[in-house]
Amino acid sequence: MEKNQKIFWGWYIVGGAFLVMGINYGARYCFGVFLKPMAAEFALSRSVISLAAAINMLVYSFGAIFVGRMLDRIAPRWITTTGAVIAACGYILTGFVSTPLGLYISYGLMVGLGSAGMGVVACSSSVSKWFINKRGLAIGAASMGISLGTVTLTPLSGYIVGVFSWRVGLMALGVITLLIGVFISQTLMRKTNPEAHGLLPDGDKTAIIPQSSASPAIHKVSTLTLFKDSRFWTLAVCQGLAVMISMSVFVHQVAYATDNGIDNMAAASSLAAISMTGFMGQFLFGWITDKISDPKYGSFIGISFMLAGTILLLNVHSIFQLYIAALIYGFGYGSLAPILPLLVANRFGRHIMGSIYGLLTFFIGVGGAIGPVLGGVIYDHYGSYRYLWLINIFVLSCVALAILTLKKGKQYVA
């Protein structure tokens, strides 16, 4: 390591990923704040409005496949910069929509595509390539940005909606995404992996000869090979269902709370409450996976906390009860972002993290797209979210047990 480079560059990648994911997911998880006022202004059902969030998730997950493959070849800053520009334009244009089609194009298509470039595939995969022994700590620290962004942006969005309008709130998110996303991408996300710059993972001070290519030599892994691997499908199904539930909560919890007589600002802040304990969970679950034999046990604990929080959410009748449910659920939710890339690296190897994680995210995103629409359809049919929470409880119980069956096996490494 060069004498004047006192801080291992991997930690700059962690810092960049922390901020990029904070802006990206913090802004996306604000959609629940805009759901009810948009439905009221357009005189449309919540399922119609929620479809925009579902399209957003589908486009995001489809884009993640290409983001993952590009990430194994080029520096992450160009991917995250492009994503920030596209997402920012989508948010701003959403502030001017007057029809559901316009909403689906601007928020569903544009924000979804831009978010893929700023998402966990680009950020967590980049971090993973710089660490081995400290991978859990590094990914956990980077993932904390998701919660910090949500804690900051959801109350801000709720305030702007209350004082101005939902349109102004969306345009504000666009400006924030553009300015911060582009700046951080260009300054902190410049390098691909340590070997390409004469370094070793974790900041090892033993210099190595830089490779002629930015990517290390790897065995090519076909999509068909992955599809024949039961570990891939265990991760895809379990994480897909977990994200389906988390998206249903982020999109519908605010409306559920206000339906139960809770003030709009307090209801919006309940999303921030999820992210407050999610912030702690993301660090602790990342850190603890460096200490235990298998990250799947950390995943089981996290899902169990989500289950407990959802059970409490089923019987919310006051602000206090809402916040207790949100805080418990949020701690478990904090396990999702850091543990998935750790499971992928543990099972498949770090050098092809981008490609595998991107493909996995597509299937996970399909599950995530179902959550908002499922919640909207259930509410429109029953006039209540009770059956949504009951479905979530059953699904989380199954996921917690299924994740324990995840086996170890062949790693695809250089």
Farthest CA pair distance, the chain: 66
Helix axes 120-128, 9-28, angle to 10 degrees: 160
Share of the chain above pLDDT 90, in %: 22
pLDDT of residue 302: 93
pLDDT score, position 349: 65
Taking CA atoms, 164 is separated from 93, 170, 238, 265, 320, in Å, by 17, 11, 40, 13, 27
- Within 10 A of 217 (CB to CB), how many other CB atoms are there? 8
Higher pLDDT, 12 or 192: 12
Amino acid at 410: K
DSSP annotation of 201: G
How confident is the model over 336-353, as a mean pLDDT? Answer: 73
pLDDT digits (tens, 9 = 90+) for 185-204: 888 877 766 665 566 666 66
At residue 396, the pLDDT reads: 95
Using 50, 70 and 90 to split pLDDT, how confident is the model at 72?
low
CB neighbour class for 397 (10 Å; exposed up to 12, middle 13-18, buried from 19)? middle
Q: What is the pLDDT of residue 393?
A: 95
Question: Tokens 């700046």 — which residue?
Answer: 183
Give the CA-trace dihedral at 149, 155, 161, 164, to 10 degrees. -100
Q: Residue 33: is its pLDDT beyond 50?
A: yes
Q: Is 393 left (phi over 0), alpha (psi -120 to 50) or beta?
A: alpha
Question: Which pLDDT does position 241 carry in this prediction?
Answer: 93
- Give tens-digit pLDDT for 168-186: 999 999 999 999 989 988 8
Q: Is 394 exposed, middle or buried (0-12, 13-18, 19+ CB in 10 A)?
A: exposed
Band (397; pLDDT cuts 50, 70, 90): very high
Report pTM.
Answer: 0.70
Domains and CATH numbers, the chain: 9-403 (1.20.1250.20)
* 88-128 confidence digits (pLDDT tens): 999 999 989 888 898 899 999 999 999 988 887 788 777 87
So what's the pLDDT on residue 3? 45
Q: How far apart are CA 156 and CA 162, in angstroms?
A: 10
DSSP of 19-55: HHHHHHHHHHTTHHHHHHHHHHHHT--HHHHHHHHHH
Q: Place 8 in a pLDDT band, splitting at 50, 70 and 90.
A: confident
What's the pLDDT tens digit per position in 139-150?
A: 778 878 887 888
268-284: pLDDT as tens digits: 778 778 878 888 888 88
C-alpha–C-alpha distance, residues 24 and 149, integer Å: 8
Give per-residue burial for 311-330: e unless 16+ CB within 10 Å, then b: bbbeebeebebbbbbbbbbb
Highest mean pLDDT among 63-77, 130-144, 149-163, 356-370: 149-163
Burial of 250 (0-12, 13-18, 19+ CB in 10 A): buried
Least confident of 133-137, 162-166, 176-180, 322-326: 133-137
Share of the chain above pLDDT 70, in %: 87
Mean pLDDT value of segment 144-158: 83
* Nearest Cα to Cα of residue 252 among 53, 41, 5, 15: 53
Non-local CB neighbours of 3 within 8 Å, separated by 6+ positions:
none
